[in-house]
Amino acid sequence: EIVMTQSPATLSVSPGERATLSCRASQSVDNNLAWYQQKPGQGPRLLIYGASTRATGVPARFSGSGSGTDFTLTISSLQSEDFAVYYCQQYNAWRALTFGGGTKVEI
Identity of the residue, 16 or 40, whose beta carbon is nearer to other proteins in the bound complex: 40
Identity of the residue, 17 or 98, whose beta carbon is nearer to other proteins in the bound complex: 98
CA separation for the pair 90, 30 (Å, rounded): 9
Whether the CB-CB separation of 89 and 25 falls below 8 Å is answered with: no
Beta-carbon contacts of residue 49 (< 8 Å; ≥ 6 apart):
33, 34, 55
CA separation for the pair 52, 33 (Å, rounded): 8
40 binds other proteins (CB under 8 A): no
57 binds other proteins (CB under 8 A): no
CA separation for the pair 55, 49 (Å, rounded): 7
Which residue in 29, 54, 82, 100 binds other proteins (CB under 8 A)? 100
31 binds other proteins (CB under 8 A): no
Which residue in 23, 34, 75, 78 binds other proteins (CB under 8 A)? 34
Per CB under 8 A, the segment of 12-20, 23-31, 34-42, 60-68 that binds other proteins is 34-42
| DSSP 3-state of 42 | coil
Residues that bind other proteins (CB under 8 A): 32, 34, 36, 41-46, 49, 55, 87, 89, 91, 94-102
